[in-house]
DNA sequence: ATAGGTATTGTTATATTATAACGATTCTAT
DNA sequence: ATAGAATCGTTATAATATAACAATACCTAT
């Protein structure tokens, strides 16, 4: 994904299309919903979407939400720490946040059992502030 | 799932079948794999499996691993706190563990943004102690 | 610039995972 | 026993994801 100079390569056409679709969406988007939206721009097959999403994940600008089967833009291209996603059951909004302690606790819990962590999935379901206050 | 005395009801036939299949498995099992195994005992349709799994989750004796699309027995029927699953990429073994701090951190991270947590998914992928030490 | 090899992309087909709809059966309370 | 509610079985179908291979673009050395 990087060119020979190590700098970031511009996004390919498919990558840009998927990126823009995700950027315009309020909430995470499923693969087939992306496909529907991008048909008019020439994407016809699921694999074109899935491959592109994998590439954008590799580039660290997109995350997959495992408990939703959906994808969302990363809030910030630079983080190394494990993101924590807060997912609202009502409005579907997803907030990416970080917590030093959670990351270090995962390290600890891993070391305790000799487990070497690689990738963490942390997805909290509940109700966002807005839904909580507006509807009781 | 509880009878009128509030005590735990015995498992139904389907529940027992799925429970036993999970108990015998070393690792989490997918719905269609369960279906294959239980065909000889009279289960024929995916819904019979999915419904039963939902019931066992409701009974808090089974967990679903969101990042695997698979299910596993709970290590301990009594916990209230959020389980943390360590999933080995190599051998597929899944260890359910707990960490007071992680639970309280999730509370904090939630409160910070007014989010009210409901259900947490924490799944750590990596290599288990055994795979790590045996194969370098 | 051109040929040859490599990596990426497009396309078709298919696999895997999950749910909708509805009738049959069982359970529950009177 | 009987009516209503809940659960279950069955068929069909929806939703999500990948395998296989051909076509195209890309890189490298001449
Ligand atoms: Zn991020
Ligand atoms: Zn909300
Ligand atoms: Zn458990
Ligand atoms: Zn292992």
pLDDT in tens, chain B (136 residues): 433 333 467 999 999 999 999 999 999 999 999 999 999 999 999 999 999 999 999 999 999 999 999 999 999 878 989 999 999 999 999 999 998 898 889 888 888 889 999 999 999 999 999 999 997 6
Q: How many domains does chain A have?
A: 2
Residues 6+ apart with CB under 8 A from B113: A86, A95, A97, A128, A129
Q: Where residue B108 sits, what CATH number does that domain have?
A: 3.30.1490.190
Residue A28, domain member (yes or no):
yes
Residue A94, domain member (yes or no):
yes
Strands A116-127 and A84-88, by their bridges, are parallel
- Check whether residue B66 and residue B117 sit in a common domain: no
| Three-state helix/strand/coil letters over B34-88 | HHHHHHHHCCCCHHHHHHHHHHHHHCCCEEEECCCCEEEECCCCCCCCCCEEEEE
A124·B108 Cβ contact <8 A: no
- Check whether residue A65 and residue A90 sit in a common domain: no
Check: CB of residue B77 under 8 Å from CB of residue B61.
yes
Q: How far is CA B52 from the centre of its chain?
A: 13
First to last CA, chain B: 47
B129·A115 Cβ contact <8 A: yes
Instruction: Indicate which of A96, A122, A125, A135 best probes the interface with B, i.e. most B CBs within 10 Å of its own CB.
Output: A122
- Check whether residue B116 and residue B65 sit in a common domain: no
- How near does any CA of chain B get to the CA of A39, in Å? 28
């Amino acid at each position: 994904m990087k060119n020979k100079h190590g700098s970031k390569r511009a996004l390919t056409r498919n990558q840009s299309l998927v990126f823009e679709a995700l950027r315009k969406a309020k909430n995470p988007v499923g693969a087939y919903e992306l496909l529907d939206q991008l048909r008019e721009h020439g994407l016809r097959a699921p694999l074109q979407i899935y491959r592109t999403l994998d590439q954008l994940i590799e580039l660290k600008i997109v995350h997959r939400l495992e408990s939703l089967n959906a994808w969302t833009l990363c809030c910030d291209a630079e983080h190394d720490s494990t993101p924590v996603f807060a997912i609202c059951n009502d409005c579907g909004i997803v907030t990416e946040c970080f917590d030093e302690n959670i990351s270090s606790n995962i390290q600890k819990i891993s070391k305790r059992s000799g487990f070497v962590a690689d990738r963490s999935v942390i997805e909290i379901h509940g109700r966002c502030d807005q839904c909580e206050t507006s509807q009781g």
